[in-house]
Structures are given as structure tokens and as C-alpha cells.
Amino acid sequence: MGVVLPFEEEKKPDSSKGQDAFARLTALVDGDLARVNDCIIRRMESPVALIPQLAGHLIASGGKRLRPMLTLAAARLCNYDGDRHVQLAACVEFIHTATLLHDDVIDESALRRGADTANTIWGNKASVLVGDFLFSRSFELMVEDGSLKVLKILSRASAVIAEGEVLQLSTANDTGTTEDQYLEVISAKTAALFAAACRIGPIVAERPVAEEKALESYGKNLGIAFQLIDDLLDYSAKQATLGKTVGDDFREGKITLPIVLAYRRGSEEERVFWRRTLEELDQAPGDLEHAIELLTRHNALSDTIDRARYYGTMARDALALFPETELKKSLIAIVDFCIERAY
């Protein structure tokens, strides 16, 4: 089942640099991040024992806290020296965790980061309801912050994420999905929260609108690059090291960018294969390996990485108006971290 992406034609980047970049950013926001974690634990408390038990299972399962870290880093980049960003970063993580709980139910996922998903252990009903609880907690945190602008941004992001998930359902198993439709889905279901998480920083720091827009653009483009690589990894042996089974998206008939590219570049015989396996979900032993061979033949995997690099470049450019600081350097390096996961 392990099929490694062949990129012999180009020099692979050193993926350890990406890990170093993540470690540097973590170190720069470490004190604030510890307070975010404390806030998360406190706000998961409930007299209904299953709620903290189930939510804690997912939150403690190895997530990198990237989205709340972006909120903390963006605030510090804007020279904010208050406390509001801590609670709002926890809010961002609750929104993210709630969507993961719902996603795993929709996708019928059995593993996340190498551990059994909550729906596998406690069932779909409990997972959906605890996801709803976390969404409610996030809105309590927004209201407590007291800023209507922050409330508007984060509540809108929550709505857009839901719209993206519904839109993805409408494109599922549809090999006629276009690249624009795919980008619309990932811009909503992934990039919207990245953008909101970054925009909060300059808002609490009361910085000019130009800085808001810059950090929002950084987050949106970073989020698109992040999701492009996530979707590519489904066809890589590297996926196993990230705690997921190779080919999950293929088995579910998800139409991601590698599929879109290979389908439109392929022969009619190849399109018949894609329609059988992804639309009809009529899959036989060896089909996943053949799918990866087609993706490789048509450069769909390497071109997906190129797309991610394009959005990564726009994310970096968005930070140009900020002075050169260690935080800015770390935020730029995080772009490489997100893209180099492909290797």
C-alpha cells in the first residue's frame, strides 16, 4: 500500500527545516500557548462527564495547535501586550476541534493522528453533540471578549466552514468537479478559519485596516496551501507517518485537486476508471495503486505541490509591510513547514 511520491526530477527540500520552523514559532509563543491550553481545559469542563472525556480525547491526540498559534503570533507581530488574544486563540481551537468531530462523522473516519476517532469510540451521535457543545463554548468566548467586530469575523468564519462542508458534499463523487469548484470548497472549509485566526491579532492590537487585510491574506493563502498538501498526502506513503491510512479520500470518492488534474488530462479509458472508482465506488484490489500511477503519470501530484507553492508565495508576500522581526521570520517559515509536509 505504501507508494512514495516520485520527485526524482527535482531536488527535495529539507523537511527538517519545516519542523525547525514550527519549533521556533512554538517557542516564540510558548507562554501564551500554555495559557491557551489552560483556557481550553477549563472551558471543556461540564457536569456531563462524556463531554470533557470525548472532547479531551481529540484535543489531546497530538494536534499541533497551528491555528491558535497563528492568532497568538499575529497579535504579537502587531505589538499587542494585552490578554484578549489568549481567550480568542482558545476560541479558534474550539471551532477547529468542533469541525473535526463533525468531519470524522461525515467521512466515517476510523483514525485521526494515529488514534481511534471519537466517533469510533463513542459513536456518531455523541461526537456530533459534543462538536455542537464546542461550537457553543467558542461563541461564549467571543461574547465574553466584547468586540462585535471579533464576533462578526469568527461567527462568519464558522458559517463559511459549514458552507464549505456542504459544498464538498455536493461535489463528492463527481468527477466533473472543476479546479475552481475545488478551490471554493477548500477556501471555505479550511482557509476561512486560518484567515480569521490571523485577522484577530491586529484587531485586538487596534492596528490599521491595512495590517488586518495583510494578515487575513496571509492566513487565507496559508490555509489553501495547507489543504492542498493535505489532499496530496492521501496518495503518499508519508501519510502513514501522519496517522492516517493511505487512500482514505480515494475510498470515499473525494474529488481533490490531484484527481481533478488527472481526470481532465487523462484518456477516455482513464476517465472510465475514475468514474467507476470514485462515482460508483466500485473499487477492486489494485485500484488505489493504479490511481497513484495515473496521478504520477499526469504530474497531478507534483503540480498540486506547485499550486501550494504559489499560494505559499502569496502568503509570504502578504507580510511584506511588517518590520523584520523573529515573529515575522517564523510566520514566513511556517509556510515552508506546511508545504514541506509533502516530503
The angle subtended at Cα 215 by Cα 40 and Cα 171, nearest 5°, is 75
- Look up the CATH superfamily of 15-340: Farnesyl Diphosphate Synthase (1.10.600.10)
**3-class SS at 251?**
helix
For residue 239, give the C-alpha cell. Answer: 501519510
Rounded Cα distance between 99 and 86, Å, is 20
Supply the pLDDT for residue 62: 58
With cell 500511477, the residue in question is: 293
Task: Give the whole-angstrom CA distance, residue 256 versus residue 259.
Answer: 5
The pLDDT, as a whole number, for residue 61 is 67
All structural domains of the chain with their residue ranges:
15-340
pLDDT attached to residue 291: 97
Cβ neighbours around 35 below 10 Å, total = 16
Count Cβ atoms below 10 Å from residue 287 Cβ, excluding itself. Answer: 17
Digit-coded pLDDT (tens) for 287-339 = 999 999 999 999 999 999 999 999 999 999 999 999 999 999 999 999 999 99
Q: Which triple of cell numbers denotes residue 169? A: 458534499
Rg (the chain; Cα; Å)? 20
Query: End-to-end CA distance of the chain, in Å?
Result: 17
Neighbours of 98 (CB within 10 A): 24
- How many Å apart are CA 67 and CA 63, to the nearest integer? 10
Three cell numbers written together for 146: 466584547
- B/e letters for 49-58, b = 16+ CB within 10 Å, e = fewer, are eebbbbbebb
Residue 112: φ, ψ to 5°: -145, 120
| φ and ψ of 322, to 5 deg | -90, 145
pLDDT at 315: 98
- Torsion angle (degrees, nearest 10) of CA 28, 31, 35, 40: 40
Cβ-Cβ contacts under 8 Å for 65 (sequence gap 6 or more): 33, 36, 37, 93
Residue-by-residue pLDDT tens, the chain, 343 positions: 333 344 333 445 555 566 788 899 999 999 999 999 999 999 999 999 999 888 888 777 656 799 999 999 999 999 999 999 999 999 999 999 999 888 888 877 766 666 777 788 888 898 999 999 999 999 999 999 999 999 999 999 999 999 999 999 888 899 999 999 999 999 999 999 999 999 999 999 999 999 999 999 999 999 999 999 999 999 986 655 555 578 889 998 999 999 999 999 999 999 999 999 999 999 999 999 999 999 999 999 999 999 999 999 999 999 999 999 999 999 999 999 999 887 6
The pTM score is 0.91
At 1 the pLDDT is: 36
